[in-house]
Homo-oligomer: A and B are copies of this chain.
Amino acid sequence: MLLRDPVHGLISFEADEESIIPRLLEAPEVQRLRRIRQLGLTSLAFPGAEHTRFSHALGAAHVMQLFIARLRKIHDELPFWQRLTSERARDALAAALLHDVGHGPLSHLFEDAVAHATGSCRLHEEWTEHVLLDESTTVHRILAADDPELPQRVAGLVRGEHELPYLARAVSGTFDVDRCDYLLRDAHATGVGYGDFDLPWLLRSLRFGESSDGAPPGLAIDGPKGMNAIESFILARHFMFQQVYFHKATRAAEWMIRAILRRAMHLIQDGTRLPGVPRAMLAFAAGDTPSLGDYLALDDQALLETLSQWRDAADPILADLCNRLRARVLFKTEELYGVAQTPAARESAYATVRAISEEAGLAPDYYTGLDIATDTPYEEDRSLTVIFGSGPPRRPTEVSFLLDRLRDETLSRVRVVFPGELRQRVRDALRQAR
């Protein structure tokens, strides 16, 4: 199997141990990822951001190939039972491809919204596990045909668990194949260069960490070579959050989707009939967990078509919100800086916006929001060590000036969200309040 990928160039899965990839690609659960965009509604702010979770899954599997190649250059220093056999490589490749196979539509929005509306919802991680383990799925059958234990092992890897910690961390860790691919891919698709980092150098600087009592080691970074590669990875991720993931138009659109889904859930729960409601949503509204099949029938295409139909709903709020979203008449935001960010000040600003909305006849629950986006650029990762020459393993923050300064700092961006027609009133009111 030979593919063109806009991020990694030529991708091929041709070795024996890689044959699991082309087989899994034929599963409808994997093909479904073609209908889920990697960045949800971000293309409303960055028109190029139409890339799908399918291409990301392929990219993650490709990064895993590179990762495996690097580990094999160094694994001879381990006792043979701790080395990367073909079986383990196959498992890791499958896990890389499938790490998000249970993802819901519109990035994380759907599960957030449903959770909000119903008080309970499986996370996409649980749905992923469900897809892997449920005997009815094609993915499960393909995995189990290779080895009956394979579905469980892949599920473990996706959770970051494996008898070889160095492998587990490659699927789920600070520098896992997921992040490595999505940063590059999101940067490529949005045109925001900040997501670029030096993947070949990062991989090349991997070595094994210390192992105690003969247990297999975790991963470590070769200090002189890899320190800057790590730092630039962390910063690339930070910049992508600031520029793309927290972009005001994206956040506003996401807020609108959440309001729409919330409204629809309430209407359904109140017994209102809405056109084109996917079966999974009916189940959620009823407090049930939908069947796996119904859940997987949800994708961006289906959900957006449903929203398109709701433009004609009898409920004026639902119809209005769906109309605005479709025509990209997005809500506006005002960011609260400095002192305006304290909890009390936030709430006060939000109350002001609600009052203005109320006054304008727009239900504040659906037309206004307080949007808080937070990210911790570098959370101290105790499983990651840096080694200089034959020296002892150290924590990244001990040796990196930059990571030390960033450690465990949480950045938040707080915004009030409201319809564009209220913009002047909101601005004036917020200015007065200062």
Contacts and interface: CB of A to CB of B under 8 A. Distances in A.
Interface of A: 2-7, 9-10, 12, 14, 26, 28, 31, 34, 37, 43, 46-48, 50-52, 54-55, 58, 73, 188-194, 196, 198, 200-201, 204, 224-225, 227-228, 231-232, 235, 239, 242-243, 301-302, 304-305, 308, 326-329, 335, 337, 388, 401-402, 405-406, 409, 411
Contacts of A54: 47
29 contacts: A3-B46, A3-B47, A4-B191, A4-B192, A5-B47, A5-B191, A6-B191, A10-B200, A10-B201, A12-B204, A26-B328, A28-B326, A31-B326, A31-B328, A34-B47, A47-B52, A47-B55, A47-B58, A48-B51, A50-B51, A193-B196, A193-B198, A227-B242, A228-B243, A301-B301, A302-B305, A305-B305, A401-B411, A405-B406
Nearest to A239: B228
Given A4-B48, A9-B191, 7 more contacts: A10-B204, A31-B328, A47-B54, A50-B55, A302-B308, A337-B388, A405-B405
A301 B307 CA distance: 12
Main secondary structure of the interface of A (DSSP, over half): helix
B225 A2 contact: yes
A6 B188 contact: yes
Contact of A232 (B7, B55, B191, B239): B239
A16 to B, nearest CB: 12
Nearest to A242: B228
Nearest to A238: B402
Given A52-B50, A239-B232, A304-B301, A327 B31 contact: yes
Contacts of A58: 47
A196 B335 CA distance: 29
Contacts of A411: 401
A230 B58 CA distance: 27
B194 A2 contact: no
A235 B228 CA distance: 11
A243 B182 CA distance: 25
Contacts of A231: 239
Contacts of A326: 28, 31
Contact of A2 (B31, B55, B204, B227): B204
A228 B200 CA distance: 25
Nearest to A49: B6
A27 to B, nearest CB: 9
Contacts of A242: 227-228
Nearest to A401: B411
A48 B401 contact: no
Q: Which 4 A-B pairs rank lowest in CB-CB distance, beginning with the nearest? A: A405-B405, A6-B191, A6-B48, A4-B191
A242 B228 CA distance: 8
A327 B29 CA distance: 9
Contacts of A228: 194, 239, 242-243
Nearest to A236: B232
B4 A46 contact: yes
A233 to B, nearest CB: 11
Contacts of A401: 409, 411
A125 to B, nearest CB: 24
